[in-house]
Structure formats: C-alpha cells, structure tokens
Chain A
Amino acid sequence: MIASLSINERQVGLMLTIGVAILGLIMLGAAKEGPMAVHGAMALALGIVLAFSLVGSLFDPDAPGGRAARYYDEPTRFGLMLTLIWGVVAMSVGVWVAALLYWPEATPLWPATSFGRLRPVHTTGVIFGFGGNALIATSLHVLQRTSRARLADSVSPWFVLIGYNLFCAWAVTGYLMGSTQSKEYAEAEWYADIWLVVVWVAYLVLYLRTLARRNEPHIYVANWYYLAFILVVAMLHIVNNIALPVSFAGARSFPVWSGVQDAMVQWWYGHNAVAFFLTAGFLGMLYYFLPVRAERPIWSYRLSIVSFWGIVFFYVWVGSHHLHYTALPYWVQTLGMTFSVMLLVPSWASAGNAIATLNGAWHKVRDDATLRFMFVAAVFYGLSTFEGSFLAIRPVNSLSHYTDWTVGHVHSGTLGWVAMIIFGAIYTLVPQLSGRTTMAWPKAIEWHFWLSIAGTLIYVVSMWNAGITQGLMWRTYDANGGLAYSFLESVMAMAPYYLLRTIGGALFLTGTVLCALNVRATMLATPVGAGASDRPLLTQPAE
C-alpha cells in the first residue's frame, strides 16, 4: 500500500503516524493504568509500526506516474480485508454468546469472557467492524466510479480506514476490560468517541472534495445515500455521546443526559443507527452494485428520489417506538408509531425499485449466486422493514418488546439484508480489484449463498417462536386471575429456540469464513502485472 503513495505523501503519512503515536503516549502517560492506558499503548504501538514502515520506504521509488488519470482502489481492497476479518471475529463471538444462553456454564469464569461483556463486542464488531468497513471501502469505490474522478488525495483514505479501525479496536477491547458507557451501540468511551469524530470529519471532507472533482454533472443516487450515512451518523454520534469524563486521565464518564431524556436520545440514536448506518449506507451499496451486476439501469429514477427523501425525513421520528408504554410521554410514542408505519412507503419503494431493476435479468439471478445475494438482500430489506413497521404499532409492541422477537427482527435485517448485500458487493468487487473475471473458487459462492440463507431462516424463525412464546407466557392469566407462568418458566421454554438459533448462527458464520477464504485466495491469485488495481478512468462505464 505504501508503494502507491508519492514521497511527499509518505512524509505527510509519517507526520500523521507520529501524531498517533504521540497521542497514544499522552493517553498512556496520563492514565498510567486501566483501559485508557491500554488504549494509549495500542495507539502508540500502531503509530510506531506505521512510522517505521513509512520511514523505511521514504527512499523507495516514487509512486508510478500518471496516477491522476487512474482510480485509487488500494484503500478499498484493504477495507474489504478488514471487513472480512471483523466479520469472522465478531460473528464468532455472536455464535459464542448465543451458545452461552443455552450452556451458561460453558464460559470460563473470567470477567472478560462473561456474556455481558462479550455481547457488545459482538454488536460493535458486526455493526461497526464488519458493516462500517464494508461501507467505507465500497463508498470509496462507488464514489470514484460514479464521479469519474480519482479520490481527492491519497493519504486521507488511509487515515480514515486505519483511524476507524483503531476506534473499533479500542471499543471492543474496552468492553473486555469493563469499560463501557452502556448505551447500546454507542458503548465506547469518551476519548474513542472524540477520535471517531476526527476520523469521520476526514471521511466527509474526502467525500465532498472528491465529489467536487467529478466529471459527471450529476451526483448519482448511491452517493446521496452514502452522504446521508456520513452526515447523519455524525450528528447522531455527537449528540448521543456528549458526556462528562470523571477525569481526563481515565476512561469513565457520565453522559450529560439522564432518565427519560437520555432514553429518548439513546433510541433516537439507536434507531437511526439502524436507519443511516445499516440502511442508508447499504442502500447506497445496493443502488450501485445491483445495477452493475445485473447490467440493467435502476428501474425508476423518480422512485429513488421519493424513497431517498422519505427515508431521510421519516426515519428520524421513529426512535420512540422503542419506548412504548414506558415513562416517555404518550404523544412522543404516538409520533414514533405513526412515522414508523409511514416509513413503510419509502422503504418498500426502495426495495421495489431494486427488485424491479432485475426485470429482464431473472435468468442471471438464477445462475449467478452473487446477484442472487443482492436479490435476497432486497427481499429481506422489504420483509424486515415491513416487520419493523408492524412491531412499532403499540399493541403489537406490547407483546414483542423485551422479547427475542426483537432480536429476530434485527437479525433478519442484519443477516438477511446488510450481510447479504455486503457479500454481493464483495463478490462483485474482489475479482475486479484483483484483475480477474471471477473469484478463485466460484463454486464456493453457491455454497456460501445456501449456508447464509439456511442460517438466516433458522435464526429468524426460531427467534420469532421464542419471542412470541415469551410474550404470551408473560401476559397469560390463569382462571383465578393470577399470572399463569413464572418468569423462570418462560426462561425454560426458550431452551430449544436458543439452541436452534446457535445452529443458525453457526451456519451463517461458516458461510462467512468460506467467503473470507475465497477472497484471500482470489487476492493472492492476482495475475502479475494486473497488480495495480487502478484502472484507467475512462474505460469504466460510469453509472
């Protein structure tokens, strides 16, 4: 990766890595012990390793000439590798914590491997590690292709990717050490949050600067979604994470929000993390890779406009459906419910637009597992958004809330939609980035597809059963007007479903491992000379 940088850029990179090392040193020196010190040491080590490799290459040959006329895909390649590493690790942790609910004794009695600490490792690892890296990596690729311009500069994509992964690594190692804000999907502590803001601003600036260089008058729809993802996630992240550290020399902080306001801010964040991280960003991915792979233009331009603004506007209102029947004022709950139902319109418009795009390419869906991944993703997107609107209706929510139905719903979205579209994008991109026409093991894609489908269905169906059973057992009264079941009886009734869910998750994980190995084999089998994943700007069809 360093060879693609000019000498000047290597010098800038060197300054940045030294900066990271100094930051790490300051954190280490200030905290001396505890999570912040460990995180300081991690930054220090990262900075030193990168600085040494950059120093070593200062006198190597300069970057190949004529770069400006080529796309810059090395960061994308690197980002996809990180995506798969996080995917395998975080899904393994997921399967492991799922197993712990069936075999609670299976865990060694160390604090770091306790369920409550591993659970955010799984969620952060899959959402931010797996999903986030996939979004950043593909966005950089899509941005260049749809703008017919090279990235605005060559250093900031590396800063964004490496900095972002430092954030993820700080977050998950923090949880293992017991450092957490306890806000779901925003557990990382204050200094990691500030660091993420820095990285995110660099990402936004890179995006806008590249857009400014575009050779296409129009900004393609995929970029609207990626932009919405970058902008709104920044907004959510900052507001939800405002906190006062107990000391600047330690990890612990207290959020400024408390009680009911904190709950509302948290679920405004939480649901919009779903909206703008797990939906808008991935719709950007869908709007580029599905038409490219199917070789058909997007079915309706008009529909894509309506659904885009519908999603951006409606989603922000719906977070309060996480707080039905709670101490949150009733009118806020009602607003959340109403907008959740209305949200179905733009959501189905997007899903429908994607599926209609496949008209005339159904034979490809049948024959090409990669395109099938994307088709299934669109279908699951449609199904989960329907389910989401349904679960947001107050009386339905009275049954489903707090149960495993929610967990099932989330996974039909994340496994069925998010992960499937990522796999579709990966299988489209990786051969191209490796100068090949196919993956190294084309048959393995087919296997992966069916493992994913089976895993997702087993997972989701078992969680539906679990959730509905729980909900009904909790609210059933006996003939004497007393509650019919103790809580413990509802726990015992879960055992078969928890076992099934673990099996479903394990199947899905197996598929992901297969994908990672396939990608590795493909990248290693890059033909010599094709090494430069840069491609001339003009021969690429711009979407």
Chain B
Amino acid sequence: MLRLHYNLERISMGLVAGIIVAASIGGLVEIAPLFTIDETVEVPADLRPHTPLELAGREIYIREGCYACHSQMIRSLADEIDRYGHYSLASESAYDHPMLWGSKRTGPDLARVGEKYSDVWHAAHLVNPRAVVPASIMPAYPWLAATPLDISTLSAQLATLARLGVPYSPERIANAAADALAQARPDGAGGAGFVARYGDRVAVRPFGGDPARLTEMDAVIAYLQSLGRLTTAPYVPQ
C-alpha cells in the first residue's frame, strides 16, 4: 500500500486522477438519485408557480439578502411545527430556482408566513421594523415603497424559468408584465385574464397600499403573502 503510494507520488497525473475519483463518489451517490426517486420529484397536482408579481418580489428578497436572516424550511421537529406550522415538503419548493431554504434564523422562519399578517403590517414593518416590533433588529427597507417596480424583464424571466421546467405557458410568458400590474390592481383591466391564467386562489389586491403605483413594496408583500400557499398539500389530510 505504502509502496503503491510511493510510486503514485511520482506521477502528477496519477494524483490528479486519484483525487478526482475519490472526490466524485460521495457527490454522485447522494445527489444523482434525487433526480429520480418519487420522494423528491413528485409534484402535487395543485402546486402553482409564483405569479410574475410574486416572482419579482422573490428577486427583491434575493437581492436584499433576506435569506441571510430568514430560513424557509420548517424542520420536522415538534417545536418547529408548533411555532411555524406543518413541516416543509420537498414538493413545495419544486419550482424554486434557486431554493431559499436558508441556513440561519436571525429572524423567524418564513416558509408559512403567507397571510399570517395583513399587507398593511408588512408595509409598515418593511419600511421600519421597529415601528411595529420595537425590539426588532431587522434592517429597514424604506426604498422598497419608493422604487417603482421594473416589470420590463418579467417575460424574459418567465421564459427562462419555463425552459428549466417551471410551468409557465406561452400566454403566461407573453402577459407577464400585464399580469404583474393586474395582480396589484383589483379594479384594473387585466384582472379577468390574470385570474384565468393563475386561478382564483391567488390574491389580487394592492399589496403595497397604493393601487395607482406599482412599487417594489407591492412585489415583496405579494411574495411574502404567497409563502406556504402555493399548494394545499401540507394542509389537506392525504
């Protein structure tokens, strides 16, 4: 054995090959099956992808690094279920490119925060968390309400995700920008088309509070309110 290694040390390409082989096995065994076994590939029939507005909110969530303080993965432990709700299912994040499970809870888990608070609460909280939760150490995000939402690339984003397997039909892709507007304007034009494309379980309302302007605040709140509500699978007994 030692002899073998003694010789191996004289051949750099031998070392290279050895390292590559030794370092590949673990990853292959653990990762490859995840693409085939039912437990990780099955998707509930009623799972919907994010609407364009929610997707825009998700992008902002990523941009601002909310994931550095908030997890979106409720573990199957009694106290977590009591605190946050049903443990997270693999299928719930099946359409999430990337997943946002997180690794640190400086703030609470958000996997099921959807509809836990009112839109008004979220808006006030994001502008200044200490206005609603005096002891909070969460950063303030006042610029969200002041920044108009950029909807110009939403179609391209949906199209990209569709190529990765997220069920965005050509109509959903073509109408992405209009749908983002429609979801925040209950009385506006595109409302009927939006409901036709995303179903009537999806909330349609001025999330940020001002139907006249579509801001980043609308998008973030729409996203937060959707968390844990993309499928009924965790809530209905199987």
- Which of A's residues lie within 8 Å of B, judged by CB? 100-102, 104-105, 107, 109, 111, 114-117, 119-120, 175, 178-184, 208, 211-212, 217-219, 224, 227-228, 231-232, 235, 239, 244-247, 250, 252-266, 268, 272, 276, 302, 305, 309, 312-320, 322-329, 332, 335-336, 339, 398, 401-404, 406-407, 470, 474-475, 477, 482-483, 487-488, 491-492, 494
Contact = CB atoms under 8 A, between A and B. Distances in A.
A153 B34 CA distance: 44
Interface stretch (B86-94, B116-124, B195-203, B221-229): B86-94
Nearest to A207: B12
Contact of A212 (B9, B12, B31, B88): B12
B19 A312 contact: yes
Contact of A252 (B89, B105, B157): B157
B189 interface: no
Contacts of B212: none
A244 B67 CA distance: 21
A171 to B, nearest CB: 14
Given A231-B23, A235-B20, A492-B135, 19 more contacts: A102-B137, A208-B13, A219-B9, A219-B12, A224-B15, A246-B157, A256-B97, A257-B98, A258-B164, A260-B34, A263-B101, A264-B30, A309-B18, A313-B22, A318-B26, A320-B30, A325-B75, A326-B75, A327-B87
B192 interface: no
Nearest to B67: A182
B123 to A, nearest CB: 16
Given A256-B97, A258-B99, A305 B2 contact: yes
B217 to A, nearest CB: 14
Contacts of B77: 325, 398, 475
A276 B59 CA distance: 31
B100 interface: yes
A323 B31 CA distance: 13
Contacts of A104: 129-130, 136-140
Interface in B66-121: 66-69, 71, 73, 75-77, 79-80, 82-83, 87-109
A259 B90 contact: yes
Interface of B: 2, 5-6, 9-10, 12-13, 15-16, 18-20, 22-27, 29-31, 34-35, 37, 39-40, 59, 62-69, 71, 73, 75-77, 79-80, 82-83, 87-109, 129-130, 133, 135-143, 153, 156-157, 160-161, 163-166
B137 A101 contact: yes
Contact of B26 (A211, A305, A339): A339
B19 A254 contact: no
Contacts of A259: 40, 90-96, 99
Nearest to B94: A259
A147 B50 CA distance: 56
A202 to B, nearest CB: 16
Contacts of A105: 130, 140
Contacts of A335: 29-30
Top-10 shortest CB links A-B: A116-B65, A316-B26, A325-B75, A317-B26, A327-B90, A178-B63, A259-B93, A402-B105, A475-B79, A260-B90
Contacts of A320: 30
Contact of A491 (B71, B94, B136): B136
A232 B19 contact: yes
B163 to A, nearest CB: 6
Nearest to B6: A218
Given A104-B137, A116-B139, A264 B31 contact: yes
A261 B107 CA distance: 25
A221 to B, nearest CB: 8
A406 B103 contact: yes
Nearest to A260: B90
Contacts of A407: 104
10 contacts: A115-B69, A181-B62, A263-B93, A263-B99, A323-B101, A326-B101, A329-B40, A335-B29, A402-B103, A492-B135
B93 A260 contact: yes
A247 B16 contact: no
Contacts of B67: 116, 182
Nearest to B76: A325
Contacts of B37: 329
Max chain B Cβ within 10 angstroms of own Cβ: one of A116, A179, A483:
A116
A494 B64 CA distance: 23
Contact of B140 (A109, A228, A302, A316): A109
Contacts of B9: 218-219, 224
Contact of B24 (A235, A253, A261, A488): A235
A482 B79 CA distance: 9
Contacts of B108: 487
B40 A260 contact: yes
Given A313-B22, A324-B75, A491-B136, A258 B96 contact: yes
B133 A488 contact: yes
Contacts of A316: 22-27
Nearest to A339: B26
Contacts of B93: 258-260, 263, 327
Contacts of B97: 254-258, 262
Contacts of A109: 140, 142-143
A252 B153 contact: yes
Given A111-B143, A235-B20, A180 B15 contact: no
A402 B99 contact: no
A254 B140 CA distance: 27
A258 B135 contact: no
Contacts of B141: 114
A398 B76 CA distance: 10
B90 A116 contact: no
B36 to A, nearest CB: 11
A31 to B, nearest CB: 12
Nearest to A229: B19
A266 B63 CA distance: 18
Contacts of B26: 313-318, 339
Contacts of A406: 103-104
Nearest to B134: A488
A477 B105 CA distance: 19
B75 A268 contact: no
Given A224-B15, A244-B163, A258 B23 contact: no
Contact of B135 (A323, A401, A488): A488
Contacts of B102: 402
B98 A483 contact: no
A492 B73 CA distance: 23
Nearest to A187: B65
A312 B22 contact: yes
B12 A182 contact: no
B98 A182 contact: yes
Nearest to A320: B30
B34 A261 contact: yes
Nearest to B89: A327
Contacts of B95: 258-259
